[in-house]
Amino acid sequence: MQNSSALAMLDIAVPASLKSDGQDPIALNVSEVFGYADIFMIVSGAVERNVQAIARDIEDELNAAGYKTLRREGRELGRWILLDFGDLIVHVFHEEEREYYVLERLWSDGAKIDLSKHLPAV
């Protein structure tokens, strides 16, 4: 099972993704099937600038909380941005890329995490 650090990052990343209208966020526990991270978070945006804004918000919020970005790929194009925080890897997709690559299906061996626990109280 994923560690508490990965869940703490998810507590920050999920609400941050919604600040710029991230769509359909999901998280998968990949700790048993992927040796480099515990959680994959996947979220999408409608257009390139939206994808870039979602990724920026997630990265800014996690960095402000003390979590270092280990790797970042794809920000310039805004079609598929990967943010690696170690135990948490965030994939921010343009909705067309998300439909094409379907990471949710590719990593379906990882159990889906209930994100309602990671949303801010209203």
CATH number of the CATH domain containing 62: 3.30.460.10
User: At residue 37, does pLDDT exceed 70?
Assistant: yes
CA distance 4 to 67: 13
User: At residue 108, does pLDDT exceed 90?
Assistant: no
Confirm whether 100 is domain-assigned: yes
Confirm whether 47 is domain-assigned: yes
Q: Average pLDDT, whole number, for the chain? A: 91
Confirm whether 121 is domain-assigned: no
Confirm whether 48 is domain-assigned: yes
Span 88-99, average pLDDT:
96
Span 3-28, average pLDDT:
94
User: At residue 42, does pLDDT exceed 80?
Assistant: yes
Reported confidence tier of residue 122, pLDDT bands at 50, 70, 90: low
Span 65-83, average pLDDT:
96
Confirm whether 67 is domain-assigned: yes
Return the pLDDT at 52.
98
In the chain, the number of structural domains is 1
Confirm whether 122 is domain-assigned: no
Confirm whether 23 is domain-assigned: yes
User: At residue 106, does pLDDT exceed 80?
Assistant: no
Span 77-102, average pLDDT:
96
* Gap between the terminal Cα atoms of the chain: 28
- Asked if residue 81 lies in contact with residue 98, where contact means CB atoms within 8 angstroms, the answer is no
Count CB atoms within 10 A of the CB of residue 93. 26
Closest CA to 23 of 87, 112, 97, 76: 97
Reported confidence tier of residue 43, pLDDT bands at 50, 70, 90: very high
Q: Which domain holds residue 92?
A: 4-116
